[in-house]
Amino acid sequence: MAHLMTTVDAYLARIGAERPDVLDLDALARLQHAHLVAVPFENLDVFHRVPVSVDQDAVLAKIVSGRGGWCFENNGAFAWLLEQLGFRVMRIGAAVLADGPNTVIDHHTIEVQLDTAYLVDVGFGDSFSRPLDLNRAGPQNGGKAPFEFIASPQGTTLAEHEDGVPIAKFRFKRVAHDLADFAGASQRLYDDAEAHWRRWPFATRLLGDGTDRVTLLADRLRLRRGDVTEETEIAEADWNDALWEWFRMRPPV
C-alpha cells in the first residue's frame, strides 16, 4: 500500500495536480487537462525502435520519470491513476477511423462513471481536452471544438466537428478491457513500417489553461495560440534542443 501511495503521489507531482477531495466531474476535468499539459503524446520510442510495453509497472515508470507515449502508455497510465484515486474506470478498445473504415482495435481510451458515463482520453493527440458525456445527444464542448457521439449497430463513433461537419475519429464498444489486452495492438502498430509512428518523430502537448498547443514534427515546430497557428522550420541539428525546450525530454537513444 505504501508503494502505491508513493507512486500515486509521484504521478500527481508529474502532472502538477493535487489529490482531489471529491471525485466529481470538475476533479476529473482538472486531472485530464493537467495530464494533457504535462505528459506529451509522443512516439520517440517507436520511431527509434526502443521496445514498448503494456506492462502496467513499465508504463507507470515511463510516464512518472518524465516521458510521454502513445495511447497504450498515456491512457494505460492515466486509467491506473484514476482507479487509485477512487474513480470507477473502464478501459475501452477503439478502432481509429482517421484513414477510413476500420474494425480493428488500435486505440485505448477510457470510460469513467460519475453521475453518468464520461469518455476521457490523454492519448489521442490534438483531440478533446475535457470529459465528454457518453449519454448526451448532439454536439458538446470538447475544448478545441465540438465533439459528438454517433450510435450505430457497429458501436459508438466519436466525431469532431470541423467547420460544422462531424468527422469520425474512432469507434468503440463499451466493453471492459485490461491493459494487457492491448498487447497485440501495440505490437502490431510498433511493427508496421508504413505507419506514421515509424516514419517521423513527433511530440505534442497542451499549453496553459486553454486549448493552446505545441507540436514538434520532424522538420518544424507548430504553435497554436487561440485561433492563430504559427509554424517554424526546425533544422535536424536543432531538433533535440527544441524537444528539450518545449517538452523537457531527450531522445531515448
- Tell me how far apart the alpha carbons of residues 3 and 108 are, in angstroms, rounded to a whole number: 26
Active site residues: 71, 107, 121
- Tell me how far apart the alpha carbons of residues 136 and 148 are, in angstroms, rounded to a whole number: 8
Give counts: helices (H), strands (E), the chain.
8, 13
- Tell me how far apart the alpha carbons of residues 218 and 153 are, in angstroms, rounded to a whole number: 39
Task: Phi first, then psi: give them for residue 152, nearest 5 degrees.
Answer: -155, 170
- The one-letter amino acid code at 3 reads H
- Tell me how far apart the alpha carbons of residues 248 and 129 are, in angstroms, rounded to a whole number: 21
Three cell numbers, residue 235? 533544422
